[in-house]
Structures are given as structure tokens and as C-alpha cells.
DNA sequence: CGAAAATCTTAATCATGATTAAGAAACGCA
DNA sequence: TGCGTTTCTTAATCATGATTAAGATTTTCG
């Protein structure tokens, strides 16, 4: 059950058998239905989610009422509202399944306890967050250098299988434009 | 000399006197002039920079030749191209002083050695990167929810002293619009 | 199966902010 | 002090993508 997470961790740090068991005791496995929420705006977000299967979206509601997706959670990626998690503030985001999904949940207090028992995990998360931040920097390039149409083609080329799995209006939201505009782009070919 | 960095680290993890001395041996202090580059596009970026005084800008050159600033480096903030640093790839960015500045430099190989000697620093950087990633998530809200004019007013309200210190065209670049448009906004009042 | 909900498309009009091209003002340094 | 470089402003035209509104299609689920 917990194998996918342990094997992900071991890409970064080796684990003894005992450490693996400790980890298994601190995380929960969770199966969610399509449209189920993990947390919503206004409520403090007190956990991180590791996606094994399925797909999540994290979004906020803009001033004009439109949903803006800022991240998809797919296989082997940790996702959370890190401002809320770090500073115990109410979340600014909604985290929702967009497919039936399987996750691991690591609560904030469990994470802290886990660091005491398995200090190596500080190193694991240090690397994970470093990569997440690196990815955020790279994303900024695409989002400020490409036009809407270019962003779509770039994304469709890099993740051809992923765009089949989600509704187009969600892709449009993630790419920062309207579903109508996405239709227009697609009609060109 | 190294005091500002040690005191920043100690906001997150306590340090013994010996640990402080080890750290001092692994980081270099660097004074740079206005316009001096720390790294440029194409060259691998092999260090992180901690700004004590002055101001840096990290930017890339867009397809159309325009400079796009993605981050300013100011007091007590680590700055680097984390994709280049993590994966040993050529940097996508330029990091340049926009004021005479004082920095600490932590080279990649030194950082790794430092983690061996002072494992606590894994925890420090784990927290630093977690916060950096959190800030990147929050920035996404402002950049996708606010119009150009709103971004300017928001930024001017939050950092009134900072906007006095840098040329307006750099602020425009950071906020994602042209200097001409910034002039137009300012002319309204 | 059938109805309601979810998703996608088209087209007309509109707004934000880019581009271009000047010129004006401020600053930096010899 | 003066001259060149940087920085800032104004205004006209233009393009990307938003908005609005409607209808068409597909999916879901009782």
C-alpha cells in the first residue's frame, strides 16, 4: 500500500526497514471520489497530500468569481497550500479531486514528529521543496514569455496524455485564459 | 561580518558556537558593484546568494528580446536559479546587482559538505525552501487575479520604500508590463 | 432509457495593455 | 560644469484575449 511513497523517498534518501515502518505509521492512505474536497478556502490546511493515482486540482476564486487553477496534483507529487501549512493561516485555495484518486496524507503535526524519529526526512523534504521551487521558477518563464496559444501548444506537446484526462475548461483555467479562447485555438487546425 | 546570516539561521534552528564557526568557513562574503553579474544565462549556476545589503534582480530575456525580471533579491533572502543548481543545467537566468550590494555566497559543493558537518542545516534549508515555495504560490494569486494597474497599486502599498530604490522600468518588468504602461498608470493621479 | 448536468463551440463586441516613435528630464562621471 | 547615458513620459495605433449570449453536444446517473 505504502510502497509508492517509500520508493519515491528512496530516490532521494536510503531508508532502513525500521524507518520504513515508522513512516508507514505516520501517514494515512486516502481514497477520494471525483469532486471530493481535501480542503477549502478559509479553513486552515493542516496536511500535505502525495498523489499516487488519479488527479487533483488546486484553485482559488478570483475577484470576478472565476475559478483559477494554479496546480494539478498528479502521480508522485506533493501538493498543499504551503502558506497555510507553514503559518497556520486560513487557506487561500481549494484542493479537489478531479478524478477518483488515491493519496497519502501527511498531517503537519505528524510531519514534525516524523522528523524527530527519522531525521533523514528533513533531507528528503529539503530536496522536494527545492525542486518544487525550481519548478515554480521555470513555470514563470513559460507563463510570462508565451502567448495563450503558445502555452496551449507547449503544454499539449509536453503532456499529450494528460490533456485527454481532464476537461478542457480546466486546462484553460490552468493556462490562464477562458474556455472560449481555448475553443478558438483548437478550431484553427 | 557573517553575523546577519547566522542570526537568520538561528531564527529557524539553534546553533552552537562550533557550528557557527564551521558555517563561517564554508560561505564567502562578497561585495559587488551596481550592474555586476553573479551569473548569466547559459552558464551553470553553482551557488546560492544570500543578500545582506543592496539589491539584486534575477531576469531572463524573452523571445522578443525584452528583459523579464522574475525576482528581486533583497535583505535576508536566498536567491538562485534552482533548476540550474539542482540539475547542473545551464542557467536560464541572469542574476545582477542593481545597487552596490553585500552578499554571502554558498557554493553547491560547499553546501553539501556543510550538511555533513551541520545536519541541522538540512532543517534550516527545508524551512527556507518551504517558505520560498509558499511565497511562489501566493505570488501566483496576485499575478493571475490582478490587472496591471492593481498589481502596481498593491505592490506600491506593500513596499513603498522599495519602489523608491529601483528604476521604474524594472518595477514594470517585474510586474509584467511595459514602462510606458506604468507611466500611464502613474499619470492618472 | 431519459432527463438533467456538465462540457464545448461560435461569433460579435469590448478592454487591457503592447508597440512605435518622439522628446523631455534626470543622473553619473570626467 | 558639461556631455552622454539612463530613465521617464506622452500619444496614436494595434493585438490578444475577455465578455456576453446562445446553442450544440456529451456525460452521468437514477
Crossing angle of helices A120-145 and A148-158, in 10° steps, is: 140
Mean pLDDT taken over chain A: 96
A62 interface with B at CB cutoff 8 Å: yes
pLDDT of amino acid A188: 82
Q: What is the pLDDT of residues A85-126, one digit of tens each?
A: 999 999 999 999 999 999 999 999 999 999 999 999 999 999
Determine whether the interchain pair A119/B119 forms a contact, defined as Cβ–Cβ distance below 8 Å.
Answer: yes
Residue A142 pLDDT greater than 80, yes or no:
yes
Q: What residue ranges of chain B have pLDDT lower than 50? A: none
Measured at the CA of A141, the angle between CA A138 and CA A145, to 5 degrees, comes to: 160
Determine whether the interchain pair B70/A144 forms a contact, defined as Cβ–Cβ distance below 8 Å.
Answer: yes
Q: Which three cell numbers stand for residue A83?
A: 502558506
Distance B169 CA to D3 C1' (A): 24
Q: Which three cell numbers stand for residue A178?
A: 477562458
By Cβ distance, the residue of A83, A126, A145 closest to B138 is: A83
A137 interface with B at CB cutoff 8 Å: yes
Q: What is the pLDDT of residues A79-95, one digit of tens each?
A: 999 999 999 999 999 99
Chain B interface mutation, best of A57, A124, A134, highest count of B Cβ atoms under 10 Å: A134
Average pLDDT over residues A42-66: 95
Proximity of residue A68 CB to strand D below 7 A = no
Buried-state track B56-79, b at ≥16 Cβ within 10 A, e below 16: bbbbbeeeeeeebbbbbbbeebbb
Alpha-carbon distance of A80 to A48, in angstroms, equals: 5
pLDDT of amino acid B177: 97
Residue A189 pLDDT greater than 70, yes or no:
no
CA A19 distance to own-chain centroid: 25
Q: What is the pLDDT of residues B169-180, one digit of tens each?
A: 999 999 999 999
Contacts of B37 (CB under 8 A, 6+ apart): B94, B95, B96, B97
* Strand C nucleotides where any atom sits below 7 Å of a protein CB: 6-12, 16-21
Q: How far is CA A96 from CA A58, A183, B85, in A?
A: 6, 25, 33
Residue A184 pLDDT greater than 80, yes or no:
yes
CA B18 distance to own-chain centroid: 28
Alpha-carbon distance of A148 to A57, in angstroms, equals: 20
Q: Which residue has the cell 510606458?
A: B180
Average pLDDT over residues A24-49: 95
A88 interface with B at CB cutoff 8 Å: no
Average pLDDT over residues A130-140: 97
* DSSP states of B99-146: S-EEEEEEEHHHHHHHHHH-THHHHHHHHHHHHHHHHHHHHHHHHHHS
Reported as a pLDDT band with limits 50, 70 and 90, residue A11 is very high
| Percent of chain A's residues with pLDDT above 70 | 99
* φ/ψ (deg, to 5) at B81: -90, 100
Amino acid at each position: 500500500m505504502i510502497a509508492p511513497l517509500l520508493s519515491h523517498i528512496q530516490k532521494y534518501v536510503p531508508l532502513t526497514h525500521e524507518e520504513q515502518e515508522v513512516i508507514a505509521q505516520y501517514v494515512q492512505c486516502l481514497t477520494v471520489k471525483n469532486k471530493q474536497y481535501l480542503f477549502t478556502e478559509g479553513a486552515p490546511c493542516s496536511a500535505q497530500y502525495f498523489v499516487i493515482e488519479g488527479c487533483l486540482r488546486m484553485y482559488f476564486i478570483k475577484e470576478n468569481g472565476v475559478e483559477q487553477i494554479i496546480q494539478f496534483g498528479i502521480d508522485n507529487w506533493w501538493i498543499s497550500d504551503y502558506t497555510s501549512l507553514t503559518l497556520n493561516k486560513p487557506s487561500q485555495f481549494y484542493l479537489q479531486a478531479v478524478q477518483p484518486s488515491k493519496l497519502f496524507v501527511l498531517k503537519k503535526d505528524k510531519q514534525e514528529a516524523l522528523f524527530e524519529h527519522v531525521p533523514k526526512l528533513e533531507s528528503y523534504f529539503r530536496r522536494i521543496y527545492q525542486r518544487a521551487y525550481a519548478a515554480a521558477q521555470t513555470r514563470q518563464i513559460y507563463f510570462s514569455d508565451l502567448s495563450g496559444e503558445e502555452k496551449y501548444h507547449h503544454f499539449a506537446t509536453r503532456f499529450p496524455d494528460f490533456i485527454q484526462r481532464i476537461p478542457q475548461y480546466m486546462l484553460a483555467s490552468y493556462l490562464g485564459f477562458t474556455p472560449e479562447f481555448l475553443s478558438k485555438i483548437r478550431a484553427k487546425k
